[in-house]
Structure 1
Amino acid sequence: MRKNPLSDLKGMLNLIKASKDPLSPIIEAFNNSLESIFKLEENLERSITIELFFNDQDDNSKQLEFIEITDTGVGFNDESFDRYERLLDRTKGFNNRGSGRLQYLHRFGEISVKSIYCQDENFYIRKFSSNKDDFIYNDEKIKRVNTNTFETNLILKHLRPDKKDKDFYSKLKFNSFFSWVKTQFALRAYLESAKGKAFPTITIKFSYQIAENEEKTIAPSDFPQPSNKGEFSVAYQEPFDDNGKLGWRKVETLRPETFGWCVFSFPANEIDIHGAYLCSKDIPVEEVKNPILKKSNGHLGMKMVTAFYGDYLDLPDNVSHSVDSFNIPNKSDIKEISNSLFNDEGMVYLDDIKEQANNQLRSIYKEIEQAQECAENKVTTLARELGFSSHITLNVIKAVKLSDDDETIIKNLHVEEAKYVADKSNQARKVIEELWKMNPTSNNYQDELEDKTSQLSSLIDAQNKEELSKYIVRREIIADLLDKILKNSLEVQTKKLSEEKKNRDKEGIIHDLIFKRKSRSKLNDMWILDEEFVHFDSCSDVSLDKIKADSGELLLKDIPQEEVTRLQLKITKRPDIFLFAAEGKCILVEFKAPDVDLSDYLQQMEKYCTLIANYSIKKLEKFYCYLIGETINAIDVPADYERTVNDTWLREKIRIVAHTEMRNVIAHSQQEILKLSDIAGRAHRRNKNFAEKLGLDILLTKDVK
């Protein structure tokens, strides 16, 4: 009499390692359910329910209690149960190796099974459990049941205390899991339907003790048909001795292996990321890395998943027992010639498969690649305009999303620059700390000082010098443009007006040069007034009642309409530029055309300040106002203005009073009158000063006296 050899369960678990994927037990259970369902007659119900039960009594997290998978497949009849008892049994078919069930025991302390199945035209119920010590126990006596409905229920209990798994399930979101199921089984749903097999309806549930339960159903028709598909082949390769070096050549006697691919397109909000995978048994096993796919955002409202599959990938020996990697060797891992290599008849190597897969991806995702290039070019353009260095630009390019607008990109550039500056500052701080330890009376003091100076200087390398040159040249261009505007020498100022346009926008061209109207942006040239202004939260040509801080909070309170009418408040007036400078302080800028007499507008911003001080949501007590134009006669400047060292006119301590009978002082403002030509001149001088220090003054075209 023959007897199969006994196997040690714990030894088998040590031999067959746990999958790296925390969801591997669900994949195994789902595949078993599918295979059981595909043995049904076509007219019978086909459904799979996956339910995760969580204990969410802790406000800060939820913990997985157990997982229950229920299907209407043929179940654990005598034949199936007999195979389940025998580990590594391959008689089931479907290219199985009989080791998948061990993935249950790697992660869960107990597995309970209840199966209603048909045997000899009668229905029976079978119940049993498994754990690491006893592969099958609580094996209850089989009972006949009065039903004609198939149902198998598998419960995975007691998640083992692995911190990574517990964290994974505690953070698992319902929509992410639902997305994963749709992408994980899209290829199999398509291929089974192509064979004429009806795919089951899948129900996903998350059940909680406190929170409201979540549930969604995936009908067979919910799985998308491929939006694109194709094939490629990979030849068998064999090594040969190429003059003492390892060479590779095609095995002409073996037919190349054929691989298929399908692209499945999903609405962008339904799945998490674009992806591409090598599949075994029509289930993703290994991701195909491709730079086009690294972005999580969709394109044209869609995200795509590409599945590569083929008989070669389905071979049981070509995939690991844990089904999270392929056992197919890479040519690149073979570094030298050995006798064992030449005994092989040739192989299809994994890196050749991936190379061909990536060739397909470049074609499949060509449109996304072009969109990605546009997004990256947008980063480059904005970075150049704002004077960011190339290494900061490159880091932002690596992370840019197709959906990123200008504001998002500019914010990311500033964040990346802050990180870079912080790192450089830390390096500089360490050098400076060493300076404090130096002794000026020591004989080698001067040598040490020279060395530390060199270290600090090296923190501004040649690349940064190049970027600084772009930064300075750009600023000089702005100053030159302002000169030309004042001389009316820009083409837009001299060409003939259209019939619809009666007057030239003399003020607007200056306004837009420095800060584009109707915008909120760090992309401005407010440095021309003050370097600090570039970094403030600001807006241009926005009405007072619409001005918001970066936080989203409005500048003004919601003033009742009757009060607006009674006091004739001008809440829709638009300061040319408004900046939130600091707590309790703000800045207002007004531009006037070069031929406009500034003395006619000395009270304009004082009115703005009075309205804001009385009705701002957050108390503002100090206003800095700049009236900018070109025409001002000293005779017309009131006596309370003083001429400054920069030849501007400044009035300080302007009292702002409350809208009450007491008219008590609630804030102060100051107003400075500046000429555009003076602003341009100072900008040229600053640019020249920077350029000379960097040895870049040859780049400047204007002769600054």
Structure 2
Amino acid sequence: MSSKKFYMIEQSPTFIIAKDLSFTGILHDIKKSPTSLSPVFEAFTNALESIKIKKNNNEKFGNGKIVISIYANELTDKTSEFRAIEIFDNGVGFNEEEFKRFNTFKDNSKGFKNLGSGRIQYVHFFDRTTINSIFNENNKYFEREFILSKSKSFLNHNAIVKQNYCKEISEQNTYSKVSFTGLLEPSNIYNSLTDDSLKKELLKRYLHYFCFNSNEIPEIIIDFYIYDSLKSTSTISKFDIPKYDKKEDIIIHYSTPARDGNSIEKSENKEVFSVATFKVDKKLLENNDIKLISKGEVVEETKISLNGISRNDNINGNKYLVLVSGNYIDEKDTNIRGELDIPTKNSTKLFNAFNQEVLFLEDIESNVNDKLKSLYPEIEKIIEKHQNELEHLKDMFLIGEDDDVEISINDDDKKILEKFYEAQAKKEAKVDASIKESIDRLDYLDTTSKDYEDELEKEIKKLVRILPEQNKRTLSHYVARRKLVIELFSKILDKKLKVQNSGFREKDEALIHNLLFTQKSTNTYGSDLWILNEEFIYFKGNSELQLKDLEIDNKKVFKSEFEEEEQRYLTSLGQSRLDTRPDVLLFPEEGKCIIIEFKAPNVNASNHLTQINKYASFIRNYTNKEFKIKTFYGYLIGEGIEPKDVQGSVSTFEHSHNFDYLFSPAQRVIDFNGDEHGSIYTEVLKYTSLLKRAELRNQIFIEKLGLK
């Protein structure tokens, strides 16, 4: 990154100028991390590595020490305002080699201060990051101080780093201290940060590392200051780290080419691996996982998977962490961070030169999974549960045993169906040519000919023979399901279900809601929203999820951090407005949202006319910038609908004379920030009207199958 070398001794402030790159462009391309504590995590990782380097160079050093100091101003008894945070470590310090690496853009080689674009997050979050360090170079001690910033004065020099000084000193205790000040954007995460909350975040973030190195982790102290006065302190020690539950060795044999040259067989040579398993409370460990350990470090980039349980499963409130180590893994380490030189069976390069014994990554994965199952018989129950769920899904969507679909334990329903439909598409492609031939033969038909009907029937029979049996079964299942759903809807409206007459509380609204779109679900394709509109089952959406948890394509829709006035409003009058749960939200395309609210048949729906508008207002004003939703469609559905009540409450509603519903052509959805307002079209309609529409749309199919 620099056009100059960083040799001692530099006494005057010097910008570290980028060479052959533009920091303005880099800052644009490398976006601000969605993880607010990203700079803190980067600095903490650097501290761990700095201590490790010093420990490797000095056996008498011990485990080292990290002190994190959080500084805040107290606003009330329960709130504070973030001022600064410092991360101190007594590691090796920023010597010349590490400082040069730090200033080399995207350096991913092994070593201290080598997280590539990590320092970019420093300047994205904070106006000023000051790093002070004492280090040893050629048996002399030096103190270095430098600053990171993306302020105008730095970027004018095409730099984000300025070294204030580097001077020789007499002190002989190496360390580094990273100080973050001047938070660039208001953040509830930082304003609510305390020693206890940061401890919890660090335990979650570094659990894999802590578990494997529990006896060697540094002394970690987190201090929380209010107005420079120490208010509270937390520590992280080996007593906070889960102890391994079981530890056993496994033996894995090398593979060698068979004599026929077309297969692989096991050799006599083998390697020993250590497998340590941890049962961790699900609140601390987010996902079940297997991690390889090389030289005491967790290798995050080498992916091996659990085959028996999914990442989200928990057993008795615990998740499972499996750490695999051994001399073989250490020997396969490379100079590139996160990379091991362990071959896989699909490696083209390997098979082109497969003249020696090889130990495959897949063999490690399968042997570790087998060991895990033998150590924990309860995992077999989880496997059986997943198999039953898969069979249920196959039955529901008529997935045949002959369908070429490879399904992973971590695939959710949506992913499984995507794989199935992809396989179906491949099948359909094979018959497309034959179908086209049938269509081309239509050119020779004459609708005025007396033989027309007979000739057409011949072509129909040819086409039916071409269509896969799967398609015929799917169509029958499709129509039969719709017939039963329509009948069930009618019974609910007529209160003929046993559960409606059991003497328990009224639950008609819940019965209708779950019939149309199961509560807490995101599987619109598996819903029966076609009763309302055929297109709705193809849109992304969810059913009765809190607004704050709303996601589109695994991205949070609502912001996690708000301006002071936004936060005030969202929690004013004792309410928590983003905890509300719209019955159904659908997203047909970018910038559009459909809001559906169900009301119990005995409820006067006109009393709830503004509910949909409030949801639209929340979505227009408090979502992340990438979700610029401006067009809304609202459906308020009930049975207790009196047109004069509706029009008397909201005068923009008009009565549709062709169909039995009321509609409001367009109302404004105010943008509180002064940007372009949104608009909402709303309908108020009855369940009985929906039922009649659904019966008419599906009548001809039902009659053809003899289901009427």
Is this a same-fold pair by TM over 0.5? no
* TM score, norm. by length of structure 2: 0.44
Taking structure 1 as the reference length, the TM-score comes to 0.44
